[in-house]
Structure 1
């Protein structure tokens, strides 16, 4: 081999070795960069005041959850009794004596009254928080008022007043009472029963019944609950 060619080959070989060494150094970073820090990081000391606050909050949440479960259990029974009474009142659209229809419904009203007494006892454990839990029995109470108002109309052809509804449910005293909004909403729901009654009586050609409902709306056009 000529001297010039040998020198060029040696230079190329040396350059290749340098490149290989450089690549190896880049692919293997210094171990010091990945050496874990073995020094223990001190944990922040827990604040006794914050611990006490969180324990208090958790206790309040647990107590509220337990109370709400008890309320919902009673409300579920109220809803069940109300459905039984409403189902009994549906017989008014059939050729069944009115006394029999009202008798079955009144029996459930007494059951509902006792359940509201239980609900009032539960709420005594959280005085001043009536409207905090009011939503748990609002719709059920409105349905009960609608049923009571329809029963009252069947018996007297008159409007069930707010004080009368409270008395029928045993809610005329103490903090636990019949909310006026629930009472008025229940009266609005009662109009559905009028539609069914008018339809049935029209089929039976009982126009006096329909005229009586129209006169009732004219005379009872103002609702002023006490």
Structure 2
């Protein structure tokens, strides 16, 4: 009888633990839904780059406002998720965080034409950039997936720039993507999802190479400024 009571107590505790975990997951899901909604708004705002050049600066400013709101939600996630359980619940925010890595890196590229570092994106989101055993941080693989998404978006942007008669931007994009491609080739990628995303990069590289080549043979590439490259 006492043994049966002991078993009952054990499984009663299991149920309490399962209930607590489920309640925590519901809180996390609610926060992540709000974060996802802001990311969708940012995607919509930034689609202007594929239609016209005017308004891109304002779109970047609007996107940054949405990043600020997302930062507040990430602060809520940091408070909600136990410091030791980051990877236990990571799947809830993995996808949307990769999306934010893409969106933030796109805005920074549009504004300054440079690569957004892992530390910069973490700072925008208000989370740690240090890969920690405990605590909420920006996972490096999430950052890398975001950069691969950026390459796909920029290759599409290059095509639409040509449609609008902007023949200089594709060369700038080509140089940037080539440098990123070279960087990724230095990595020994173990993550299957990341590896598949990287495998798709070759198609983005090919697309932008074809755009630049077509402009070149048609004589539409802007000529270097006088004296450029000369000493």
Report the equivalent of 1:94: 51
Please say if residues 39 and 99 of structure 2, whose CA atoms lie closer than 8 Å, have aligned partners that are also in contact.
yes
* Deviation for aligned residue 1:46: 6.5
Shift of 1:140: 0.9
* 1:156 shift after superposition: 1.0
Count residues in correspondence.
180
Could you report, residue by residue, the CA deviation over 1:190-216 in whole angstroms, capped at 9, with x for unpaired residues? Answer: 122112211111112322111111122
Is 2:174 aligned against 1:217? no
Residues 193-212 of structure 1 mapped to structure 2, 5 A cutoff: 193-212=153-172
Provide structure 1 residue ranges, at least 5 long, that are not aligned to the other structure: 1-43
Could you tell me which residue of structure 2 aligns to residue 54 of structure 1?
11
The answer to whether structure 1 residue 129 and structure 2 residue 85 are counterparts is: yes
Q: Please tell me whether residue 69 in structure 1 is matched to residue 29 in structure 2.
A: no
In structure 1, C-alpha distance between the alignment counterparts of 2:137 and 2:32, rounded to whole Å = 15
What residue is the counterpart of 1:81 in the other structure?
Answer: 38
* 2:146 paired residue among 182, 186, 190: 186
Which residue is equivalent to 2:118?
Answer: 162
Secondary structure, counterpart of 2:83 in structure 1: coil
1:205 and 1:97 map into 2 onto residues whose CA distance is 17
Task: Give me the TM-score of the superposition, normalised by structure 2.
Answer: 0.73
Match of 1:117 in 2: 75
Q: Pairwise CA RMSD of aligned residues?
A: 2.0
Structure ID, larger Rg? 1
